[in-house]
Amino acid sequence: MIKNIISGIKAYFGAFSLISKLKLWKYFAVPMIISAITAAIIFSSAYGLSDNIGHFISKIWIWDWGKDIFSSIGNFIGGLIVLVIGLILFKHIIMALSAPFMSPVSEKIETHFTGNSSHSHRDTTFSQQLFRGIRINGRNLGMELILTIPILLLKFIPVVNIFSTILLFMVQAYYAGFGNMDYTLERHFQYKESVQFVRKHRGLAIGNGIVFILFLLIPIIGVILVLPLSVTAASTRTVEALQIKSKLPNAT
């Protein structure tokens, strides 16, 4: 799996040039706007809620001794909870709403690598792509929250909280990569088949998602460029995986 994670990360190195070569920037205009508006709404709301959550957590400690220390810990954990949930909501919202715009991008990348624009695949409409994006990301959102909540509780345990941070990051990365890969998979697989495919190639999903999450930590520019680069990188590796599976032809 480590090899696939590295492969998923390395796909980003050629993403910018591929977008320019295939003239794909025009397809990213609406998703970029969606990303900017969603980020502004979610993170402004999150900033206002962090102090309230931290204050609520600090009330758990009923004793006077060590109260200041626990309050500081509570504020930190409160801010972390808001940040994590904000990131989770942000990525699934933008990936779901951008599905109809990202599918043509992945299809052009697929055609570029296969050299065949007439191969057989599932023809889907704008509304079907949007529904598929909402369904996949809704499912991933639920699964991610189920996994994230207990991991956040581990933050209260010394030493263990170090490993829980890594685990939390990997979970976030996996589901981000999952959503990016599905823009290609939706043309070839039904819903359940796509879930199974990503599970078998979880390393590629994690590698793609690692860079996706790191991009979100870059103010403004990261939010704007995260979809173009991550979708391009994911499409490249997903097409390669499909070719290995003999689902797609190789370029001649």
pLDDT tens over the chain, length 252 residues: 889 999 999 999 999 999 999 999 999 999 889 888 888 887 777 666 766 666 676 666 666 666 667 666 666 777 777 777 887 888 899 999 998 899 889 999 999 988 866 555 566 777 888 888 899 999 999 999 899 888 877 876 777 777 888 898 999 999 999 999 999 999 888 889 999 999 999 999 999 999 999 998 888 888 888 999 999 999 999 999 998 876 666 654
Q: Residue 18 belongs to what H/E stretch?
A: helix 15-21
How distant is the alpha carbon of residue 194 from its chain centre?
16
Q: Which of 198, 201, 210 is nearest to 9 (CA)?
A: 210
> With a threshold of 0.85, does the pTM exceed it?
no
Q: How far apart are CA 202 and CA 147, in angstroms?
A: 16
Please state, as a whole number, how many other Cβ atoms lie within 10 Å of the Cβ of residue 53.
19
pLDDT value at residue 85: 80
Please say whether the beta carbons of 91 and 212 come within 8 A: yes
The residue whose two tokens read 């460029």 is: 225
Q: Is residue 92 within 8 Å of residue 179, measured between CB atoms?
A: yes
Distances 199 to 44, 141, 231 between C-alpha atoms, Å: 34, 16, 18
CB 201, CB 1: distance < 8 Å? no
pLDDT at 117: 61
Can you give the pLDDT at residue 128? 84
| Assigned token pair, 64 | 């006077």
Domain ranges of the chain: 2-244
Amino acid sitting at position 244: I
pLDDT at 252: 46
pLDDT score of 51: 66
